[in-house]
Amino acid sequence: MDKKSRIYIAGHRGMVGSAIKRKLESKGYQSIICHTHKELDLTDQQAVNNFFKIEKPDYVFLAAAKVGGILANNTYPAEFIYQNLMIEANVVHAAYTYGVKKLLFLGSSCIYPKFAPQPMKEDYLLTGELESTNEAYAIAKIAGIRLCKHYNQQYGTNFISVMPTNLYGPNDNFDLENSHVMPALIRKFHEAKVENKPEIVVWGSGKPKREFLHVDDMADACVHMMENYDYMDIGEFVNIGFGKDITIQELAELIAEIVGYEGNIVYDTSKPDGTPQKLLDVNRLDRLGWKAKITLRYGIEQAYEWYISQK
């Protein structure tokens, strides 16, 4: 990419898309194309084709997706698989049709089998059963990876895929009904502190382990990949992670400390834990010259400050 390249960010209002936009702007890219969902429905094939025909982007960051936590994935699986499949198929095909130089597709670490060996290597894709609570989303993301792979094989396109671990940071979704664990806990602990609640209930046993990466690090990694590597350099896809994980109990205690909540933390074991552990193997990423820089404590402090600033 050069500074005058036409760069389309699909999903620029989301947490990842907005971080990529900030990163590109900070590096001096001058022609960033963004459209809201109201302006461009990515599940509408004709609308997507018309957009690519008119705008003619050189590069595409495909960060648009329907996302949510365990509750949302369990409640609306048909919406998760349908909307994500449509977005991916329409954007990838239009990128091929209208000669996009390079596309970066963002997947999710939930693509890996529920009981995959830890840390999870890229080679573990499709080697076992998926976690049932987010199977619909995972299958859609696997389809996105394979779309890129097979378009590259058949048409000689340069579509690369990256698989982020659990992300958090500015523009996260803090809705308790459909958010991920990090923003949900930040909001729960803040509200419990404000309301002087003697205890707070956390879903599950607290034993599952999760890896978290600040979204600004994720954006930095995505731009690094787009600037420096092609499909043949990366292979089918590359994991983007921090390289270390933490139990949900440790996470809850850290958030309580940062927020300043001093009540009791109770774990509701009647609620699902989800996958026992999700830690990405980042050796391929290391070889590509990128490492995470934002520590978990600092990142949570920043995320909490952003959440407070929005109230």
Q: Which residues are tagged catalytic?
A: 137
Residue 232 makes CB contacts below 8 A (sequence gap 6+) with: none
> Torsions phi, psi of 156, nearest 5?
70, 25
Nearest to 130 by CA among 61, 186, 192, 77: 77
Cα separation, 199 vs 196, whole angstroms: 9
Task: Tell whether 167 is in a known binding site.
Answer: yes
Task: Tell whether 214 is in a known binding site.
Answer: no
Phi-psi sector, 294: left (phi>0), alpha (psi -120 to 50), beta: beta
Task: Tell whether 144 is in a known binding site.
Answer: no
User: DSSP 3-state assignment of 103?
Assistant: strand
Task: Tell whether 113 is in a known binding site.
Answer: no
Task: Tell whether 289 is in a known binding site.
Answer: no
CA angle 8, 239, 125 (to 5 degrees): 110
Task: Tell whether 21 is in a known binding site.
Answer: no
Segment holding 291, helix H or strand E = none
Task: Tell whether 166 is in a known binding site.
Answer: yes
Task: Tell whether 306 is in a known binding site.
Answer: no
Task: Tell whether 156 is in a known binding site.
Answer: no
Residue numbers belonging to the annotated binding site: 11-17, 106-109, 141, 164-167, 180, 188, 203, 210, 273
Residue numbers belonging to the annotated binding site for NADP(+): 11-17, 106-109, 141, 164-167, 180
Residue numbers belonging to the annotated binding site for substrate: 188, 203, 210, 273
